[in-house]
Amino acid sequence: MNRLLLKQQLTQFFNEDIGLGDRSAAALGQTRTEAVITAKQDGCFYGREVLIEGASLLGLEVLYVLHDGSRVQSGTEAARLSGPCDSLLSGERVLLNLVQRLSGTASLTRKAADLLEGTGVRITDTRKTTPGLRMLEKDAVRAGGGASHRGGLDEACMIKENHIAAAGSITRAVEAVRRTAGPLTAVEIEVETEKELHEAIQCRPHAIMLDDCTNDEAMRWAALIPDGILVERSGSITLDTLRGAAVPGIDFISMGALTHSAPALDMSMRLAVKETVQ
Amino acid sequence: MNRLLLKQQLTQFFNEDIGLGDRSAAALGQTRTEAVITAKQDGCFYGREVLIEGASLLGLEVLYVLHDGSRVQSGTEAARLSGPCDSLLSGERVLLNLVQRLSGTASLTRKAADLLEGTGVRITDTRKTTPGLRMLEKDAVRAGGGASHRGGLDEACMIKENHIAAAGSITRAVEAVRRTAGPLTAVEIEVETEKELHEAIQCRPHAIMLDDCTNDEAMRWAALIPDGILVERSGSITLDTLRGAAVPGIDFISMGALTHSAPALDMSMRLAVKETVQ
Amino acid sequence: MNRLLLKQQLTQFFNEDIGLGDRSAAALGQTRTEAVITAKQDGCFYGREVLIEGASLLGLEVLYVLHDGSRVQSGTEAARLSGPCDSLLSGERVLLNLVQRLSGTASLTRKAADLLEGTGVRITDTRKTTPGLRMLEKDAVRAGGGASHRGGLDEACMIKENHIAAAGSITRAVEAVRRTAGPLTAVEIEVETEKELHEAIQCRPHAIMLDDCTNDEAMRWAALIPDGILVERSGSITLDTLRGAAVPGIDFISMGALTHSAPALDMSMRLAVKETVQ
Amino acid sequence: MNRLLLKQQLTQFFNEDIGLGDRSAAALGQTRTEAVITAKQDGCFYGREVLIEGASLLGLEVLYVLHDGSRVQSGTEAARLSGPCDSLLSGERVLLNLVQRLSGTASLTRKAADLLEGTGVRITDTRKTTPGLRMLEKDAVRAGGGASHRGGLDEACMIKENHIAAAGSITRAVEAVRRTAGPLTAVEIEVETEKELHEAIQCRPHAIMLDDCTNDEAMRWAALIPDGILVERSGSITLDTLRGAAVPGIDFISMGALTHSAPALDMSMRLAVKETVQ
Amino acid sequence: MNRLLLKQQLTQFFNEDIGLGDRSAAALGQTRTEAVITAKQDGCFYGREVLIEGASLLGLEVLYVLHDGSRVQSGTEAARLSGPCDSLLSGERVLLNLVQRLSGTASLTRKAADLLEGTGVRITDTRKTTPGLRMLEKDAVRAGGGASHRGGLDEACMIKENHIAAAGSITRAVEAVRRTAGPLTAVEIEVETEKELHEAIQCRPHAIMLDDCTNDEAMRWAALIPDGILVERSGSITLDTLRGAAVPGIDFISMGALTHSAPALDMSMRLAVKETVQ
Amino acid sequence: MNRLLLKQQLTQFFNEDIGLGDRSAAALGQTRTEAVITAKQDGCFYGREVLIEGASLLGLEVLYVLHDGSRVQSGTEAARLSGPCDSLLSGERVLLNLVQRLSGTASLTRKAADLLEGTGVRITDTRKTTPGLRMLEKDAVRAGGGASHRGGLDEACMIKENHIAAAGSITRAVEAVRRTAGPLTAVEIEVETEKELHEAIQCRPHAIMLDDCTNDEAMRWAALIPDGILVERSGSITLDTLRGAAVPGIDFISMGALTHSAPALDMSMRLAVKETVQ
């Protein structure tokens, strides 16, 4: 988590909603108020830094906030803020929009991680994140027990179908990226057939991704991959099929759904006027 | 749609993904290539301006792109881009991340609008949009046949539960906002009980929102509201209950799910190498 | 007022003036000093948030500052700041440039509002604001007793001469904007002739603007407009003609001059060295 | 003029007005249209670069535009743009807001420069510019026949009353700034009394500013200042008193009013639909 | 290389130098001119994208430009631009400042890479880049024949002295980072003693860095490190000692000097007026 | 020094290095720690404001920091920071990258200024600064005892070879820039021959720059230049030749090397864990 970047993103998000000013705020005044954020569903909370930095930007105080990754039940108090009534209301929607979505991602990841417990297989995210929210969504995945796949196109080399087609073969694609990749840059090859798998193994990449295969294929193919090369599975895997997909030899399974289709975790924010100021 | 703002947002989104540069691009070269974006599900397309401006930023050409709101079926070609192979691949994920999400919102809205056909009731969005994507998500709602609720806190006054509590009563809250609201600023009051409804009607707002009530209550309450005041229903309405919720007297129904829970519309982008350049 | 946006704007304004650094500051040192901002003309003050946020950015303390909208006379102390001498001087010009201009707008609005007292007609601003200063200028209008017209092109639909020409008729223009406008989006039609007025009334907009007509016309036309449609007058109205323009039936009068031609309210900032620090 | 900076400023100004999108644009369509900007008052035009870069950002073409500094009469066509009807209308207000204000500054400067013709005295601006518009306003002053005073606090050293008080004396203030000022950095001293003038002359600055003195004082004091030190007059000078203020020995007169109180030059933009496209 | 990011950086750099406008440009006019950039020293050129994007921002044309990594001799023409004389001059300094520095880095890297030829050891950069220029400097290193070490703190885990001290031991530090690191995130451990080396090997990281050791130590220690763990040397290595430092077992050597101490490659830009325009 | 601008620059620099978050920070925790920055070479320190503002952005405390321009020896403690261990480590590299470079510039300038001691000749920087670091590098030059040449193209007029060629002659170039230059804008002319010198003198500029001449020429030419015109020498001057170049009649000597070729001053940052928090 980069707090300076978070601060910039939150400023942008508040400005998007508040614009020239909250026109309803006049009804509110600056009565000092407490606001309680409560989970209305079971799940896994994410949003500690969002609330701390968001509150700071709005001139609010955080009295209490759960740690990221905490399991919550319907009714669990996730956070308690304090400050002028109008600032609390002006910031409410943006903060909830973020925390609900991100807790949704953390909760879905938590379910996936729990399903994989004992298998030694890790669940990871993808680059199918919401534009503008990558840092936060990937952090929410970690909070839910998942691991981060590459952060962006500049972090590792993924040789996919289109790269192979453009380069002419897996081997030529790998040679091309190795000419510019640094020694710490992981190279991963996506394969769709056993023939591609054999060629990929010859290239000695850091990881091989088995794309959209059956559990039988996955097991058989993983067995062919020597130690020292990580094995990823990806494609069309849901919570229902996840445990079965964790066949021997697989190191991690990536699910785009963690960030593109996680249902928001329902939460509410209630105010309780405390004492009149100013 | 504000194209200058869109251009800024897309630049930010591409930078988030590309960072210091696409490390896998070396495998690709600048072969001139065509890329086809195809729907893999039935739904409603949104993303015309996103693709046109995105392509322009990346130095690509748009050969063809559907109009926003077009109905697509699995297999429908949504767009066709052309340009250097490496630029196409570097931009693919961000463009798909956007277009799939936004088409998801357009598609869900389309379903809702279709369900309401013939009732005279309109479907609208809320402020429960993804932080950073409000303009695009609200445009996608319009493309899907919905109408925009207020764009932000600076566009209209919504008097909600918390405002009423802070001001002391609905009447006092309305008086407070009217002191600063301009003549074109709509004032809408959210009511939860019939007692509140009567007080709200006395205030002659532009609209009254019936929050989380039964269909019977909604019908009875709507009948009490005089002409010239719009009636909105909101809260706990799903596609399953939507048609039933459109009881006589309701003008529009808002659904947060249009923007916070629309499943992405699955789409793919395939490249076809055409001719080698440079 | 959106304080986060204000902070960004002030940062930009200070950077515009200070650039690589205040070259004269070396003569000043960091002696702790008080600075008093005093009105040199009668008028209406605006600048409380500007001074509070500006001082915070510069590391200064606000000891005292008037509330926005306070009437001042020549000699009234508007604000008192405290801090290092060099920071006070480096920020002086930008702060005065803003507060004088905005107090000028508040003062002109105050005069207009006072002239309209008892008529029930409100004075409003327009979009003829200084580029980059819309939020502040519109807030200054409110502080001076005026009301805000729409905040920008995204807040309401104004059907003007050019829209009518492009659409073919008032009716077709209104139909076109209603297809995309949300239920809370006000629609206002500008009319120049009685024929247009009749057509406009048929469209049942939220408001009709009578553009550049005589007082007689205004009174006659306003009488034709049914209840429930607001009536605006605009065009060529000055402080001298304002009271007369407030004929029966008019709800509000907009004056571009409030923001494009308000003479600055003269103010000075004087330093008084207090104690030497560092 | 820095075109890259201008482009950034214009983008910000358009976004301020257009926000999430021009809601009235739906009535307009993209009919290709010409728009003519016409002066409605006599004066001096400024806005060539503004219109060229603004048009480019909006996807419009500039068919014709006056050179900055051109004298216009009521009825003079200042510019002619061409493009889609909706883009022309969405950009109209921002472009006119800028060009009218800046032409106002150019026109007032032109009047001042004309009044000084033959005296050898130049008219200059001050730092009393509109926050955010310094580059454009100073350029408009030059277009109107004026000269630029320093561009900001980082361009020259001005020793004013407050600096003198803080440093203890003129001499000590000058010594302090000279320790950090570079060889090309002009040092100017503001004096209010003859005693101060004598001390200032001893410091051999680039310029001395006679603040708020009578014409007699100005003439007498200017005569005391040796060649090689420029003499500026400032304070309480209006168009009415300007020519008289240009007494022998004065090199330039600065007027804050050029940028803080210039009345906008009235201009209009009219559309003429030409041919239907798309 | 991310061209959108490059465009933003260049805009910022031009604005830093041009500010409110090039005051000397008036002497130049817009005569169409060619400018030739010529190397005045032997070395390795870097700046192709900088010149292409920079020219585009300034409205210039690139007639010719070397490919990055090209070897140049004193007198080699590196690039030829064309455009209005004033734009060429206004951009000259920023473009040369960048291209000279970056060519300096490419040239130093080239020398280092040449020295290592035949050893199988690669030369890499570090994070000791100029703040604000990381993307460009790392790209210049690649152009000079080097490889990129990690791009930033978010790309790989480096366990250094301070991390070890804070965690308590190498093993605990590695365990801590592995809990959050993704499967593609490289982990590298810096060791200063043989005892640390043994512990590091037990952790099976992707790479081990031998910090500031003698060639004898390096050779002995490298021999202890099993296959599959990369070996880096770093610290106090200069061009003079580089070849000797490339002892058997070393995979790559990182030199901060490539980016923090590379002498700029001297280049000049000469104009040749061609034809008068406008 | 403009602290608001510095804060923006530091935020950008930290984001460049930290990206989505420091992946190694997990090993560190938030143990409260002190960090000592120590000089490892003799020289002149610059970085007080950088460390103060940088620490503030990272949530750190500055316990002690040298004043800019302080002479340091190997071993001198330059600064002492305190705060959470992970924040200290995440910020270390950016802060050191800046302080080492800028102290390198201050140190080189200090050497040059010392060499010129007693001659009355000042050493100045040029516009050959690192793009993005101009404010800081020019401030470091001042801290090292140098003086600032113009801050950018908008601060003074330099008539160079290319301007003369484009304008046709020195005289015509000067006339052209004087038409737009303000009274405080310095005009400097670069001359390469005695013929040019004579023409330049006739123009009565603020300064004349003798470019790339021998010491004999410099002395002879300087003698021809009347009082009231400053004389600058520039071109091919190194520390070795600097004292000799300071011939009678020269006012200042500019050296691009102060900012483009100053070797970084080696410094280290060491942590000392103090007490465990949280």
Per-residue model confidence as pLDDT tens digits over C64-121: 999 999 999 999 999 999 999 999 999 999 999 999 999 999 999 999 999 999 999 9
F188 and F105 co-located in one domain: no
| Cβ E97 vs Cβ F131: under 8 Å | yes
E137 and E92 co-located in one domain: no
Q: pLDDT per residue over D181-207, tens digit each?
A: 889 999 999 999 999 999 999 999 999
Q: Please report, in tens digits, the pLDDT of each residue of chain E (278 residues total).
A: 999 999 999 999 999 999 999 998 877 788 889 999 999 999 999 999 999 999 999 999 999 999 999 999 999 999 999 999 999 999 999 999 999 999 999 999 999 999 999 999 999 999 999 999 999 999 999 999 999 999 999 999 999 988 998 888 999 999 999 988 889 999 999 999 999 999 999 999 999 999 999 999 999 999 999 999 999 999 889 999 999 999 999 999 999 999 998 999 999 998 876 544 33
CA distance D109 to D147: 9
D33 and D97 co-located in one domain: yes
CA distance A253 to A109: 12
CA distance E260 to F266: 11
For F178, the domain range is 118-260
D67 and D148 co-located in one domain: no
Is-catalytic flag, C190?
yes
CA D213, D214, D217 angle in degrees (round to 5)? 85
pLDDT confidence band for D165 (50 / 70 / 90) = confident
- The answer to whether the Cβ–Cβ distance between D151 and E19 falls below 8 Å is yes
CA distance C159 to C207: 10
* Mutation site, C154, C184, C204, C206, interface B, largest B CB count within 10 A: C184
Amino acid type, B51: L
Distance to chain E for D269, nearest Cα, Å: 28
Please return the burial class of C67, using the count of CB atoms within 10 Å of its CB with bins 0-12, 13-18 and 19+. exposed
Helix H or strand E segment including F63: strand F61-65
Q: Which residues of C touch B150 (CB under 8 A)?
A: 182, 184
* Comparison of pLDDT for F28 and A246, the residue scoring more: A246
List C7, C32, C40, C128, catalytic entry: C128
CA nearest to D25, candidates F177, C160, B56, F196: C160
Count CB atoms within 10 A of the CB of residue C270. 12
- The answer to whether the Cβ–Cβ distance between D19 and B4 falls below 8 Å is no
Model ipTM value: 0.95
Distance to chain F for C11, nearest Cα, Å: 7
Helix H or strand E segment including D216: helix D215-224
Q: Domain count for chain D, please give it.
A: 2
Two structure tokens written together for D238: 């209006």
Task: Report helix, strand or coil for C179.
Answer: helix
> For residue D25, what is the DSSP state?
G
> For residue D23, what is the DSSP state?
T
Count CB atoms within 10 A of the CB of residue F210. 27
D32 and D154 co-located in one domain: no
Contacts of B136 (CB under 8 A, 6+ apart): B6, B9, B50, B98, B102
Count CB atoms within 10 A of the CB of residue F8. 15
- Count of helices and strands (H, E) across chain C: 10, 12
E19 and E97 co-located in one domain: yes
- The pLDDT of residue C219: 96
Residue A114 vs residues A215, A255, B180: alpha-carbon distances, Å: 20, 14, 53
- The pLDDT of residue D275: 43
E129 and E241 co-located in one domain: yes
pLDDT confidence band for A162 (50 / 70 / 90) = confident
Q: pLDDT per residue over F15-27, tens digit each?
A: 999 999 999 887 7
B243 and B269 co-located in one domain: no
- The answer to whether the Cβ–Cβ distance between D18 and B8 falls below 8 Å is no
List B211, B220, B243, B266, catalytic entry: B211
Is-catalytic flag, A7?
no
- The pLDDT of residue D278: 36
Two structure tokens written together for E13: 């750099």
CA distance D267 to D99: 8
Average pLDDT over residues F77-83: 97
Q: Which of E183, E228, E230 sits opposite A183 (nearest CB)?
A: E230
- The pLDDT of residue C236: 85
- The answer to whether the Cβ–Cβ distance between B166 and A271 falls below 8 Å is yes
| Cβ A127 vs Cβ A152: under 8 Å | yes
- The pLDDT of residue E278: 36
Count CB atoms within 10 A of the CB of residue E272. 12
- The pLDDT of residue F31: 84
Distance to chain D for C44, nearest Cα, Å: 18
Name residue, tokens 């965690």. Answer: E167
Residue F8 vs residues C15, F12, F89: alpha-carbon distances, Å: 10, 6, 21
- The pLDDT of residue D277: 37
A142 pLDDT higher than 60: yes
F276 pLDDT higher than 60: no
Q: Which residues of B touch C182 (CB under 8 A)?
A: 124, 147-150
CA distance A164 to A190: 9
- Bridge partners (DSSP) listed for residue B84: B32
B26 pLDDT higher than 80: no
CA distance C259 to C49: 19
Q: pLDDT per residue over A25-72, tens digit each?
A: 877 788 889 999 999 999 999 999 999 999 999 999 999 999 999 999
List the catalytic residues of D: 93, 128, 160, 190, 211
CA distance B261 to A157: 32
A192 and A244 co-located in one domain: yes
A122 pLDDT higher than 90: yes
CA distance B18 to B91: 8
Residue of chain F nearest D154, judged by CA positions: F151
Give me the phi and psi of E168, to 5 degrees please: 110, -30
Number of C/D CB contacts below 8 angstroms equals 198
pTM: 0.96
Contacts of A187 (CB under 8 A, 6+ apart): A156, A157, A159, A174, A177, A178, A181, A203, A205, A206, A207
- The answer to whether the Cβ–Cβ distance between F183 and D228 falls below 8 Å is no
Count CB atoms within 10 A of the CB of residue C28. 26
Q: Which of C97, C131, C154 sits opposite D94 (nearest CB)?
A: C131
CATH code of residue F37: 3.90.1170.20
| Cβ E267 vs Cβ E40: under 8 Å | yes
CA nearest to D113, candidates D122, D102, D104, D105: D122
CATH code of residue E220: 3.20.20.70
CA nearest to A241, candidates A108, A112, A129, A148: A112
D193 and D63 co-located in one domain: no
E96 and E152 co-located in one domain: no
- The pLDDT of residue D106: 98
Q: pLDDT per residue over D114-146, tens digit each?
A: 999 999 999 999 999 999 999 999 999 999 999
- The answer to whether the Cβ–Cβ distance between B134 and D19 falls below 8 Å is no
CA distance F249 to F245: 11
Distance to chain A for C3, nearest Cα, Å: 8
- The pLDDT of residue F153: 95
Distance to chain D for B181, nearest Cα, Å: 19
- The pLDDT of residue F25: 84
- The answer to whether the Cβ–Cβ distance between A18 and C8 falls below 8 Å is no
- The answer to whether the Cβ–Cβ distance between A182 and E124 falls below 8 Å is yes
E174 and E80 co-located in one domain: no
